[in-house]
Amino acid sequence: MDKEHQRSNKKKTKSDVTFRGVAVSKGVGVGTLILRKKEAENRHTFAGAPEEIRRFDSAIADVITSYHILYEDTQAQLGEDAAAIFFAYQRMAEDEVYRDSVYRWIREKELCAEEAVLLALDEFAKPLLQSEDPYLRERASDIREVTGSVQKYLTTEDDSFAFWDDAPGVLWAEELFPTEFMRLKNKKIAAIVTAKGSYTAHVSILAREKKVPMVVGMPSAFASEIRDGCIAVVDGNTGEVTLHFGG
């Protein structure tokens, strides 16, 4: 009888697992866990400096246009304070020092645009990540956001969450950027859960503005417990996230 009781408890533990992260946007959300589509590996061969620079210039122009549209959309929905981040991203993408860094990696190392963009990211983000100031470290995330947007236009990658249907869902991602969040405006987001992030991160601010419960700082064990079709209960007040597997 004792053995049966132990087996029963073990089964219950597998069906209901709770983790604790950092609550950054209040509220409680319940829904099927939605995972970002895995990015297809895209290896571009160096096509000569002029062509790689042309590809980068084309991508950065599309990124700047995209940020301008997001700025106007967010301003209309949430006001100037929330929209300001996209104006800042646009200025980052327009920065000549950033562009010159990418050009230099392409010309001197004969790298394709995708690789040059990543090296420029490291060049700009590394000093910020080494700073003792939490605000400056958070700004490294902003540079990753701009770099990620450029990469998407270089690879013509589809929206990572394009497969999401109309059902309410709890969005899970290692890291979520403000651009991705605002592009999900037509999706029913019950809550957001990420491994990276902080209370002062721009995406956390947007989540609070839109009143979407959000928990960040999830432990690595959380990702290993995820199964297809599992239901997540996210408590943005306490930071607790519970996974239900059914059965």
> Average of pLDDT values for 89-107?
94
pLDDT digits (tens, 9 = 90+) for 201-235: 889 989 999 999 999 999 999 999 988 789 999 99
pLDDT band at 4 (very low <50, low <70, confident <90, very high): very low
Greater confidence (83 vs 7) lies with: 83
Q: What is the DSSP string of the chain?
A: -HHHHHHHHHHHHHHEEEEE-EEEE-SEEEEEEEEPPPPPP--PPP--HHHHHHHHHHHHHHHHHHHHHHHHHHHHHH-HHHHHHHHHHHHHHH-HHHHHHHHHHHHHH---HHHHHHHHHHHHHHHHHT-S-HHHHHHHHHHHHHHHHHHHHHHTPPPTTTT--SS-EEEEES---HHHHHHTTTS-EEEEEESS--TTSHHHHHHHHTT--EEE---HHHHHH--TT-EEEEETTT-EEEEE---
Greater confidence (96 vs 135) lies with: 96
